[in-house]
Amino acid sequence: MSMMSRSAFAMMILVGVVGTAGAQPTPTPQETEPVPAPYVAPPSPPTASDPNQSIAQAMGQTPPPPEEEKKKKEPKAGDFDAGAQLRLPSGPDEEGEFATWNWVAVDVKGKYYLLKSVTLNGHFPLAVKKPDMLASGADPRLIGGMMLRLDATLPRSSLGVTLTTAYMREGAMLLSEKDFPLFVGDFQPGISGGILAKLRLGSLLDFALVPAFAFQKGTNENYTAIQIPTSLIIKLGSLLKVSADLGIFTGDDFSLRAKYGGRIYAGGAIDVKVGPIALHAGAGVASLFTDPAGVYPTLGDSVYIDLNVKYVK
Protein backbone atom coordinates (compact mmCIF):
# COMPACT_ATOMS: atom_id res chain seq x y z
CA MET A 1 0.00 0.00 0.00
CA SER A 2 1.43 3.35 -1.07
CA MET A 3 2.05 6.28 1.27
CA MET A 4 -1.04 8.13 -0.19
CA SER A 5 -3.33 5.17 0.27
CA ARG A 6 -2.24 4.67 3.89
CA SER A 7 -2.91 8.32 4.71
CA ALA A 8 -6.42 8.22 3.18
CA PHE A 9 -7.27 5.01 4.99
CA ALA A 10 -6.13 6.46 8.33
CA MET A 11 -8.24 9.60 7.74
CA MET A 12 -11.38 7.49 7.08
CA ILE A 13 -10.91 5.53 10.33
CA LEU A 14 -10.49 8.78 12.33
CA VAL A 15 -13.69 10.28 10.85
CA GLY A 16 -15.67 7.15 11.64
CA VAL A 17 -14.49 7.09 15.26
CA VAL A 18 -15.27 10.76 15.84
CA GLY A 19 -18.74 10.39 14.21
CA THR A 20 -19.56 7.39 16.37
CA ALA A 21 -18.47 9.11 19.59
CA GLY A 22 -20.52 12.30 18.91
CA ALA A 23 -23.77 10.56 17.87
CA GLN A 24 -26.57 10.08 20.47
CA PRO A 25 -28.55 6.86 20.56
CA THR A 26 -32.17 7.11 19.35
CA PRO A 27 -34.52 6.34 22.25
CA THR A 28 -37.11 3.65 21.81
CA PRO A 29 -40.85 4.35 22.28
CA GLN A 30 -40.70 2.71 25.70
CA GLU A 31 -37.94 5.05 26.84
CA THR A 32 -39.82 8.29 25.83
CA GLU A 33 -41.54 10.07 28.81
CA PRO A 34 -45.16 11.21 28.09
CA VAL A 35 -45.87 14.95 28.28
CA PRO A 36 -48.61 15.59 30.93
CA ALA A 37 -51.87 17.22 29.63
CA PRO A 38 -52.74 20.68 31.02
CA TYR A 39 -55.20 20.64 34.00
CA VAL A 40 -58.73 21.77 33.21
CA ALA A 41 -61.04 22.47 36.15
CA PRO A 42 -64.49 20.79 35.91
CA PRO A 43 -67.49 23.13 35.43
CA SER A 44 -69.11 24.26 38.66
CA PRO A 45 -72.62 22.84 39.20
CA PRO A 46 -75.51 25.35 39.57
CA THR A 47 -76.19 26.35 43.14
CA ALA A 48 -79.34 25.08 44.87
CA SER A 49 -80.51 28.63 45.58
CA ASP A 50 -80.76 29.51 41.89
CA PRO A 51 -81.74 26.40 39.86
CA ASN A 52 -82.63 28.45 36.76
CA GLN A 53 -79.23 30.12 36.51
CA SER A 54 -77.63 27.46 34.25
CA ILE A 55 -80.70 27.31 31.98
CA ALA A 56 -80.82 31.09 31.64
CA GLN A 57 -77.08 31.26 30.89
CA ALA A 58 -77.42 28.52 28.27
CA MET A 59 -80.12 30.61 26.57
CA GLY A 60 -77.96 33.71 26.74
CA GLN A 61 -80.16 35.35 29.37
CA THR A 62 -79.36 36.58 32.84
CA PRO A 63 -82.31 36.28 35.24
CA PRO A 64 -82.84 39.21 37.62
CA PRO A 65 -81.92 38.71 41.26
CA PRO A 66 -84.79 37.41 43.43
CA GLU A 67 -85.04 40.76 45.21
CA GLU A 68 -85.48 42.71 41.96
CA GLU A 69 -88.02 40.20 40.64
CA LYS A 70 -90.06 40.53 43.83
CA LYS A 71 -90.01 44.32 43.62
CA LYS A 72 -91.38 44.22 40.08
CA LYS A 73 -94.48 42.35 41.28
CA GLU A 74 -95.30 44.83 44.02
CA PRO A 75 -97.82 47.60 43.12
CA LYS A 76 -96.65 51.18 43.04
CA ALA A 77 -98.17 54.64 42.80
CA GLY A 78 -100.08 55.04 39.54
CA ASP A 79 -101.04 51.36 39.15
CA PHE A 80 -104.71 50.50 38.84
CA ASP A 81 -107.16 47.69 38.20
CA ALA A 82 -110.72 47.83 36.94
CA GLY A 83 -113.42 45.34 36.07
CA ALA A 84 -116.91 44.06 36.76
CA GLN A 85 -118.35 41.39 39.00
CA LEU A 86 -121.35 39.38 37.81
CA ARG A 87 -123.46 38.05 40.67
CA LEU A 88 -126.31 35.54 40.56
CA PRO A 89 -127.86 35.75 44.02
CA SER A 90 -131.02 33.96 45.03
CA GLY A 91 -133.92 36.36 45.56
CA PRO A 92 -137.73 36.60 45.41
CA ASP A 93 -139.80 37.19 42.30
CA GLU A 94 -143.16 39.00 42.08
CA GLU A 95 -144.85 36.07 43.84
CA GLY A 96 -142.24 35.85 46.59
CA GLU A 97 -140.67 32.63 45.24
CA PHE A 98 -136.86 32.51 45.55
CA ALA A 99 -134.68 31.44 42.61
CA THR A 100 -131.18 32.16 41.30
CA TRP A 101 -132.12 33.87 38.03
CA ASN A 102 -134.74 36.22 39.50
CA TRP A 103 -131.96 38.74 40.11
CA VAL A 104 -128.71 39.50 38.27
CA ALA A 105 -126.31 42.02 39.79
CA VAL A 106 -123.31 43.69 38.19
CA ASP A 107 -120.79 45.53 40.36
CA VAL A 108 -118.46 47.85 38.48
CA LYS A 109 -115.25 48.26 40.49
CA GLY A 110 -111.94 50.05 40.22
CA LYS A 111 -108.82 50.54 42.34
CA TYR A 112 -106.14 53.22 41.97
CA TYR A 113 -102.87 53.29 43.90
CA LEU A 114 -102.23 56.77 45.25
CA LEU A 115 -99.21 55.30 47.01
CA LYS A 116 -97.89 51.80 47.45
CA SER A 117 -99.90 51.46 50.68
CA VAL A 118 -102.81 53.85 49.91
CA THR A 119 -105.57 53.00 47.43
CA LEU A 120 -108.75 54.68 46.23
CA ASN A 121 -111.55 52.20 45.43
CA GLY A 122 -114.76 52.86 43.52
CA HIS A 123 -117.88 50.66 43.57
CA PHE A 124 -121.02 51.13 41.42
CA PRO A 125 -123.63 48.39 42.02
CA LEU A 126 -126.37 47.68 39.48
CA ALA A 127 -129.41 45.36 39.43
CA VAL A 128 -129.47 44.57 35.71
CA LYS A 129 -132.23 41.95 36.16
CA LYS A 130 -134.92 42.26 38.84
CA PRO A 131 -138.65 41.84 39.39
CA ASP A 132 -140.85 44.76 38.38
CA MET A 133 -142.58 44.73 41.76
CA LEU A 134 -142.15 42.63 44.91
CA ALA A 135 -144.98 40.99 46.81
CA SER A 136 -144.34 43.48 49.62
CA GLY A 137 -145.11 46.36 47.26
CA ALA A 138 -141.47 47.50 46.99
CA ASP A 139 -140.34 48.82 43.61
CA PRO A 140 -136.73 47.66 42.90
CA ARG A 141 -134.49 50.04 40.97
CA LEU A 142 -131.62 49.50 38.54
CA ILE A 143 -129.01 51.83 40.06
CA GLY A 144 -127.90 51.25 43.62
CA GLY A 145 -125.68 54.33 43.90
CA MET A 146 -121.95 54.66 44.40
CA MET A 147 -119.30 54.14 47.08
CA LEU A 148 -115.80 55.58 47.27
CA ARG A 149 -113.41 53.91 49.71
CA LEU A 150 -109.94 54.94 50.89
CA ASP A 151 -107.69 52.14 52.20
CA ALA A 152 -104.38 52.91 53.90
CA THR A 153 -101.96 50.48 55.55
CA LEU A 154 -98.98 51.26 57.73
CA PRO A 155 -95.56 50.99 56.02
CA ARG A 156 -94.17 47.45 56.23
CA SER A 157 -97.30 46.36 58.05
CA SER A 158 -100.46 44.37 57.40
CA LEU A 159 -102.59 46.71 59.53
CA GLY A 160 -104.45 49.76 58.28
CA VAL A 161 -107.70 51.68 58.17
CA THR A 162 -110.55 51.95 55.68
CA LEU A 163 -112.98 54.87 55.22
CA THR A 164 -115.97 54.86 52.86
CA THR A 165 -118.30 57.60 51.72
CA ALA A 166 -121.47 56.59 49.88
CA TYR A 167 -124.55 57.95 48.17
CA MET A 168 -126.90 54.99 47.75
CA ARG A 169 -130.50 53.87 47.83
CA GLU A 170 -131.90 53.88 51.34
CA GLY A 171 -130.63 50.89 53.33
CA ALA A 172 -128.36 49.67 50.52
CA MET A 173 -125.23 50.20 52.63
CA LEU A 174 -126.37 47.37 54.90
CA LEU A 175 -126.24 44.81 52.06
CA SER A 176 -123.30 42.46 51.57
CA GLU A 177 -122.01 41.46 48.14
CA LYS A 178 -123.67 38.06 48.64
CA ASP A 179 -127.20 39.51 48.95
CA PHE A 180 -129.61 40.15 46.09
CA PRO A 181 -129.43 43.84 45.03
CA LEU A 182 -132.58 45.25 46.58
CA PHE A 183 -132.33 48.95 45.71
CA VAL A 184 -135.45 50.83 46.80
CA GLY A 185 -136.27 54.31 48.03
CA ASP A 186 -134.38 57.55 47.51
CA PHE A 187 -130.63 58.11 47.47
CA GLN A 188 -129.21 58.85 50.91
CA PRO A 189 -125.66 59.66 52.06
CA GLY A 190 -123.72 57.33 54.32
CA ILE A 191 -120.28 56.59 55.72
CA SER A 192 -118.43 53.60 57.12
CA GLY A 193 -115.07 53.10 58.76
CA GLY A 194 -113.08 50.15 59.95
CA ILE A 195 -109.78 48.36 60.39
CA LEU A 196 -107.80 46.44 57.77
CA ALA A 197 -105.98 43.41 59.17
CA LYS A 198 -104.12 40.73 57.25
CA LEU A 199 -102.33 38.05 59.24
CA ARG A 200 -99.66 35.77 57.75
CA LEU A 201 -100.30 32.27 59.12
CA GLY A 202 -97.62 30.62 56.99
CA SER A 203 -95.82 30.85 53.68
CA LEU A 204 -99.00 29.86 51.82
CA LEU A 205 -101.75 30.92 54.22
CA ASP A 206 -103.21 34.40 54.94
CA PHE A 207 -106.15 35.51 57.07
CA ALA A 208 -107.92 38.81 56.23
CA LEU A 209 -110.30 40.61 58.58
CA VAL A 210 -112.10 43.94 57.99
CA PRO A 211 -114.45 44.88 60.85
CA ALA A 212 -116.36 48.09 60.07
CA PHE A 213 -119.16 50.33 61.34
CA ALA A 214 -121.73 51.55 58.78
CA PHE A 215 -124.10 54.50 59.01
CA GLN A 216 -126.63 55.70 56.44
CA LYS A 217 -129.23 58.41 56.66
CA GLY A 218 -132.86 57.32 56.31
CA THR A 219 -136.17 59.03 55.55
CA ASN A 220 -137.78 58.15 58.87
CA GLU A 221 -134.78 56.92 60.86
CA ASN A 222 -131.09 56.37 60.27
CA TYR A 223 -129.46 52.98 59.67
CA THR A 224 -126.58 51.62 61.77
CA ALA A 225 -124.85 48.26 61.40
CA ILE A 226 -121.69 46.27 62.02
CA GLN A 227 -120.05 44.43 59.12
CA ILE A 228 -117.20 41.91 59.56
CA PRO A 229 -116.09 40.18 56.32
CA THR A 230 -113.28 37.63 56.74
CA SER A 231 -111.29 35.42 54.36
CA LEU A 232 -108.84 32.55 54.76
CA ILE A 233 -106.62 32.58 51.66
CA ILE A 234 -104.43 29.73 50.41
CA LYS A 235 -101.84 30.77 47.81
CA LEU A 236 -101.04 28.01 45.33
CA GLY A 237 -98.28 29.82 43.45
CA SER A 238 -98.25 33.41 42.24
CA LEU A 239 -101.14 32.93 39.79
CA LEU A 240 -103.65 30.86 41.76
CA LYS A 241 -105.29 31.18 45.16
CA VAL A 242 -108.24 29.59 46.91
CA SER A 243 -110.21 31.27 49.70
CA ALA A 244 -112.87 30.44 52.28
CA ASP A 245 -115.16 33.38 53.08
CA LEU A 246 -117.22 34.13 56.19
CA GLY A 247 -118.98 37.41 56.89
CA ILE A 248 -121.08 38.74 59.77
CA PHE A 249 -123.54 41.48 58.74
CA THR A 250 -126.07 42.84 61.21
CA GLY A 251 -129.39 44.38 60.34
CA ASP A 252 -130.41 47.85 61.41
CA ASP A 253 -129.62 48.83 65.02
CA PHE A 254 -126.85 46.20 65.12
CA SER A 255 -129.38 43.33 65.26
CA LEU A 256 -128.02 39.88 64.40
CA ARG A 257 -131.41 38.20 64.43
CA ALA A 258 -132.50 36.90 61.03
CA LYS A 259 -135.97 38.38 61.58
CA TYR A 260 -134.45 41.87 61.57
CA GLY A 261 -131.96 41.40 58.77
CA GLY A 262 -129.01 39.76 60.56
CA ARG A 263 -126.95 37.53 58.26
CA ILE A 264 -123.81 35.39 58.31
CA TYR A 265 -122.66 34.43 54.83
CA ALA A 266 -120.32 31.52 54.08
CA GLY A 267 -118.70 30.38 50.86
CA GLY A 268 -115.57 29.77 48.88
CA ALA A 269 -113.81 31.20 45.84
CA ILE A 270 -110.94 30.61 43.45
CA ASP A 271 -108.83 33.34 41.80
CA VAL A 272 -106.68 32.85 38.70
CA LYS A 273 -104.43 35.44 37.08
CA VAL A 274 -103.69 35.12 33.35
CA GLY A 275 -101.38 37.92 32.25
CA PRO A 276 -103.06 41.24 33.12
CA ILE A 277 -106.48 39.55 33.55
CA ALA A 278 -107.63 38.36 36.99
CA LEU A 279 -110.53 35.90 37.13
CA HIS A 280 -112.64 35.14 40.21
CA ALA A 281 -115.38 32.56 40.78
CA GLY A 282 -117.21 31.98 44.05
CA ALA A 283 -120.30 30.33 45.51
CA GLY A 284 -121.97 29.86 48.89
CA VAL A 285 -124.94 30.94 50.97
CA ALA A 286 -125.78 34.56 51.74
CA SER A 287 -127.04 33.73 55.24
CA LEU A 288 -126.70 30.87 57.69
CA PHE A 289 -129.45 32.59 59.71
CA THR A 290 -132.93 32.21 58.24
CA ASP A 291 -136.44 33.18 59.27
CA PRO A 292 -139.78 33.13 57.39
CA ALA A 293 -140.18 36.82 58.28
CA GLY A 294 -136.57 37.73 57.50
CA VAL A 295 -134.60 38.36 54.34
CA TYR A 296 -134.11 34.63 53.59
CA PRO A 297 -136.85 32.17 54.65
CA THR A 298 -134.64 29.05 54.23
CA LEU A 299 -130.97 28.22 53.71
CA GLY A 300 -131.60 27.08 50.13
CA ASP A 301 -133.15 30.47 49.36
CA SER A 302 -129.83 32.22 50.06
CA VAL A 303 -127.51 30.41 47.60
CA TYR A 304 -125.33 32.77 45.54
CA ILE A 305 -122.83 32.57 42.64
CA ASP A 306 -120.42 35.34 41.68
CA LEU A 307 -117.96 35.80 38.82
CA ASN A 308 -115.42 38.60 38.57
CA VAL A 309 -113.19 39.67 35.70
CA LYS A 310 -110.81 42.63 35.98
CA TYR A 311 -107.80 44.16 34.23
CA VAL A 312 -104.75 44.62 36.45
CA LYS A 313 -101.90 47.01 35.64
User: Is residue 42, in this structure, part of any structural domain at all?
Assistant: no
User: Is residue 113, in this structure, part of any structural domain at all?
Assistant: yes
Which of 13 and 252 is assigned the larger pLDDT? Answer: 252
Contact 192, 227 (CB under 8 A): yes
Asked if residue 302 has pLDDT above 60, the reply is yes
Q: CATH code at 198?
A: 2.40.160.40
pLDDT band at residue 167 using 50, 70 and 90 as cut-offs: very high
Query: What pLDDT digit, counting tens, does each position of 88-134 carry?
Result: 999 999 999 999 999 999 999 999 999 989 999 999 999 999 999 99
What's the whole-number mean pLDDT along residues 285-301? Answer: 95
Alpha-carbon distance of 112 to 68, in angstroms, equals 23
Domain with 99 in it: 83-312
User: Is residue 75, in this structure, part of any structural domain at all?
Assistant: no
Alpha-carbon distance of 149 to 227, in angstroms, equals 15
User: Is residue 98, in this structure, part of any structural domain at all?
Assistant: yes
Which has the closest alpha carbon to 80: 230, 279, 278, 306?
278
Which of 144 and 7 is assigned the larger pLDDT? Answer: 144
Which pLDDT score is estimated for 214?
98
pTM over 0.85: no
Which pLDDT score is estimated for 21?
46
- Per the structure, the count of domains in the chain is 1
Query: What pLDDT digit, counting tens, does each position of 220-242 carry?
Result: 999 999 999 999 999 988 789 99
- Per-chain mean pLDDT for the chain: 84
Query: What pLDDT digit, counting tens, does each position of 34-57 carry?
Result: 555 555 556 555 554 555 555 445
Instruction: Look at 82-86, 189-193, 297-301 and tell me which has the smallest mean pLDDT.
Output: 82-86
Asked if residue 77 has pLDDT above 80, the reply is yes
User: Is residue 74, in this structure, part of any structural domain at all?
Assistant: no
What's the whole-number mean pLDDT along residues 262-283? Answer: 94
User: Is residue 61, in this structure, part of any structural domain at all?
Assistant: no
Which pLDDT score is estimated for 69?
47
What's the whole-number mean pLDDT along residues 60-77? Answer: 59
Query: What pLDDT digit, counting tens, does each position of 168-220 carry?
Result: 999 999 999 999 999 999 999 999 999 999 988 888 899 999 999 999 999 99
User: Is residue 57, in this structure, part of any structural domain at all?
Assistant: no
pLDDT band at residue 6 using 50, 70 and 90 as cut-offs: low
What does DSSP say about strands 91-92 and 118-129: parallel, antiparallel, or unpaired? unpaired
Which pLDDT score is estimated for 15?
45
User: Is residue 289, in this structure, part of any structural domain at all?
Assistant: yes
Which pLDDT score is estimated for 19?
47
pLDDT band at residue 75 using 50, 70 and 90 as cut-offs: confident
Which has the closest alpha carbon to 172: 186, 162, 160?
186
Percent above pLDDT 70 for the chain: 76
